[in-house]
Amino acid sequence: MNPDHLNRRETLGLLAAGTAGAGMIASAAKADAQDKEPGPDSPAILMPIGDATEAVDTLYPFFRVAEDGFRAVVCGPEARTYHMVLHEVPPGAKIPWDITEERPGYHIKAEVAFRDVDPTKYAGLFVSGGRAPEYLRYDKDLMRITRHFFEANKPVAVVCHGIEIVSAAGVIKGRTVTTVAKCALDAEQGGAKYVDKPCVVDGNLVTARTWHDSAPFMRAFMKMLTGQNSGSRPAAG
C-alpha cells in the first residue's frame, strides 16, 4: 500500500479506524520509503575524492543520485576520511580576489582505495572539483578506473577542476567540454574543445563549470544513468 496513492476517502476511512488504521498508514509510508532507499544491491556510482575536494561539488551529487535509487560509493587514495573545502570568490572582500578562496569544509569518508576498485561493478563515474584533482591525476589506479568508464561508454560527469583528471587520463580528445574558466587550458591540453556553457553533453560525458551549474548538470547526468539502467543495473560489490 502506497499512502501517496490513497484517495481522501480511503485515508479518512483508515484514520477513522483509530490506532489500527493509523498504523497501516505508517507501515505503508515506511515500506514505501524503504523501497526508495538505495541498498547494497542498488546500482552504484563511483565518486573519486581526496583532500581538498570541493564540498558542494561532491555533496550535492552524493545525495542527488540516491534520490533516483543509485548508491554513491566514495573512493580515494586510501579508504579513510578526507577533508573537503569550500571554493568561491568571496563577495565584498575589502581586497579583491582574482581567484577562488579556499576555506575548510565538511569531511567525507572513502569506502575503498583506488587500487581496490573494480570499475566494472559501477554504473557511472562522478568526478568532483576542488584542489584535489591537482594531485589525484598522478594516481595510476585512478587513471585506470577513469579510462574504463570511457572504454565501456558508461555515463561520466565532471565538474570544475575534475577536468584535470579526465584530461590526464587521455579520454577527452576530440570531445567538447566545459569547466571553470581557469581550467580551460587543462581541457585543451587534453585534446578537447572548451566552451563556456553551464553544461555540455558529448556522448557519455557531461561536464559543468562549477557547482552553480548543478541543476542542468545533474539533470543531464541522471537522464544518462536512468536511461542506461532501465534494464539490468550493475551494482558495486
Specify the pairing of strand 81-88 against strand 71-76: unpaired
Q: Which residues are catalytic?
A: 161
Q: pTM value?
A: 0.80
Longest dimension (CA), the chain: 69
Rounded to whole angstroms, the Cα distance separating 46 from 103 reads 25
Pick among 3.40.50.880, 2.40.50.100, 3.90.700.10, 3.20.20.370: CATH of 44-228: 3.40.50.880
Per the listing, cell 584535489 goes with 132
Which residues lie closer than 8 Å to 169 by C-beta, 6 or more apart?
Answer: 137, 143, 146, 147, 150
Enter the C-alpha cell of residue 140: 595510476
**Predicted local distance difference test score (pLDDT) of residue 80:** 98
φ and ψ at 110, to 5 degrees? Answer: -85, 130
Which pLDDT belongs to residue 196? 98
Long-range contacts of 153-156 (CB under 8 A, 24+ apart): 153/203, 153/204, 154/122, 154/123, 154/124, 154/125, 154/204, 154/228, 155/123, 155/124, 155/125, 155/204, 155/206, 155/221, 155/224, 155/225, 155/228, 156/124, 156/125, 156/126, 156/127, 156/204, 156/205, 156/206
Q: Which helix H or strand E contains 22, and what residues bound it? A: helix 19-36
- Grid coordinates standing for 201? 553533453
Per-residue confidence (pLDDT) for residue 37, from 0 to 100: 54
Please work out, in degrees rounded to the nearest 5, the angle formed at the alpha carbon of residue 42 by the alpha carbons of 41 and 43.
Answer: 120
Cα–Cα distance for residue pair 237/158, rounded to 1 Å = 24
Q: Give the residue extent of every domain in the chain.
A: 3-36, 44-228
What does the pLDDT read at residue 9?
55
Query: What's the pLDDT at 18?
Result: 55
* pLDDT in the model for residue 17: 54
**Whole-angstrom distance, CA of residue 152 vs CA of residue 142:** 16
Q: Are 217 and 208 contacting, i.e. CB atoms less than 8 angstroms apart?
A: yes
pLDDT tens-digit profile, the chain (237 residues):
444 444 555 544 544 555 555 454 445 544 444 444 567 778 999 999 999 999 999 999 999 999 999 999 999 999 999 999 998 888 888 888 888 888 888 999 999 999 999 999 999 999 999 999 999 999 999 999 999 999 999 999 999 999 999 999 999 999 999 999 999 999 999 999 999 999 999 999 999 999 999 999 999 999 999 986 544 334 343
